[in-house]
Amino acid sequence: MNTTPVANRLHIGIFGKRNVGKSSFVNALTGQSVSIVSGVAGTTTDPVGKTMEISGIGPVYIYDTAGTDDSGELGGMRVERTKAIMGKINLAVVVSTPADFGIHERELLTEIQARGSRAIVVLNKTDLFPRNLLVEEEIRQLGVPFAVVSCLTGENLDAAKGLIVETGKTLEVERSTIVGDIIGHGELVLLVVPIDLGAPKGRLILPQVQVIRDILDNDAAAIVVKEREIGYVLDSLKIPPGLVICDSQVVLKVSGDVPPGVKLTTFSIVFSRLKGDLARFVEGVKRIDSLEDGDRVLICEACTHHPLADDIGRVKIPRWISLYTGRDLRFDIQAGPILDRDISDYKLLIHCGGCMINRQEMQGRICAADQHAIPITNYGVAISYVHGVLKKALSPFPYEQSLLGD
């Protein structure tokens, strides 16, 4: 794992009508021919993503997209794909020309801002079109920073880059630490990682690697064990660990093994603080107690993966919740974005940890739940709850723990 995970990068999307020079701008920014440029409107058909470093911001992920003014059946599908990218990004660059900027761009800016992202405008092709002070004043009135450039001659491209850096620096992509605020300097953290059928061959999964790195960055020490080894490792330590973090699926066993006074949580819970909102998920999980026969629950997975026979979202969580409530519930699975799905019928959403999506996307999903006033929780919180150990698994987080009452 020697690169910054994509989910931790600032995500930048380039939007605008066809042929305005979006791909040319991406190529100018990256200094590479990432995207094909041509005079034919509709050259870029599928979103193209590229990782790069921008000095002053660090690692970013840039999406070039298809023109948002495309029409017809295929064009409409391209626009849909571009709109899906809007939900993933933190910063949008709306490209236009001094001659073209108008209602379409204003609508794009409104849509971007409504999704909680920041925007800047790039007016391109100034070698062809004279500057348009009326348009510039209008953009100023909208409170959106802009630059007037030519991707052909390179004029003012540095100013456009500068705007991206200035705006990008102010954006919170992720919390800067996963566990740094709950562990002490020099403390020992015991990580419990089951090596079962679901574990990838020959390596650890990304959230585990990220937690280990974060522990090291915070000058603490990590010991990694499988659940079978907890007992003897705890016995052999001179001082008990300050914190135990385990996989949600073994939280019941681990909570029994961890001595009173040692804080316990799960990988899923620490990650839900990073991308989602732990307090919201703790509030949401309480809805399980009032589910009735026939109620529908939506299990949301960030990515599409090939399900295992005993899949966590498809099999285990539905089984555990059904056993816990004693109710006859209906579970559906949604893999991928939930924005397009009618979710109004569901009584509860249970989201995966979201290790493959960024904070912006997870917040979008929480907003979707909000719009329908549906409680939302996540896998880790729900699993600990139905096993009766959530209070213990929230021991590093007194505020969220207090939301559970006595």
Q: Which of 43, 322, 363, 401 binds ligand GTP (CB under 6 A)?
A: 43
- Tally of CA atoms within 13 A in the half-sphere of 65 that contains its CB: 30
- Please tell me the distance from the alpha carbon of residue 251 to that of residue 321, in angstroms, as a whole number: 15
Binding span for ligand GTP by CB under 6 A among 34-42, 83-91, 159-167, 184-192: 34-42
Considering the complex, what minimum distance in angstroms separates the CB of residue 44 from ligand GTP? 3
The site for Mg ion (CB under 5 A) is made up of 22-23, 43-44
Q: Which of 11, 78, 115, 125 binds ligand GTP (CB under 6 A)?
A: 125
DSSP 266-316: EHHHHHHHHHS-HHHHHHHHGGGGG--TT-EEEEEESS--PPPTT-IIIII
Pick the closer one to ligand GTP by CB: 150 or 248: 150
Long-range contacts from 334-341, C-beta under 8 angstroms, 24+ separation:
334/298, 334/299, 334/300, 334/301, 335/301, 335/303, 335/304, 335/305, 336/301, 336/302, 336/303, 336/304, 337/84, 337/87, 338/298, 338/300, 338/365, 338/368, 339/84, 339/87, 339/364, 339/365, 339/368
Considering the complex, what minimum distance in angstroms separates the CB of residue 144 from Mg ion? 22
96 binds ligand GTP (CB under 6 A): no
Binding mask 151-180 toward ligand GTP (x if CB under 6 A, else -) reads: xx----------------------------
Considering the complex, what minimum distance in angstroms separates the CB of residue 148 from ligand GTP? 10
Pick the closer one to ligand GTP by CB: 39 or 143: 39
Count Cβ atoms below 10 Å from residue 270 Cβ, excluding itself: 25
Pick the closer one to Mg ion by CB: 43 or 177: 43
Nearest to residue 117, comparing CAs of 96, 88, 159? 88
Considering the complex, what minimum distance in angstroms separates the CB of residue 139 from Mg ion? 22
Pick the closer one to ligand GTP by CB: 39 or 405: 39
Binding mask 10-29 toward ligand GTP (x if CB under 6 A, else -) reads: --------xxxxxxx-----
Beta-ladder partners of 377:
350
42 binds ligand GTP (CB under 6 A): yes
Where on the chain is the footprint of ligand GTP (CB under 6 A)? 18-24, 37-39, 41-44, 66-67, 124-125, 127-128, 150-152
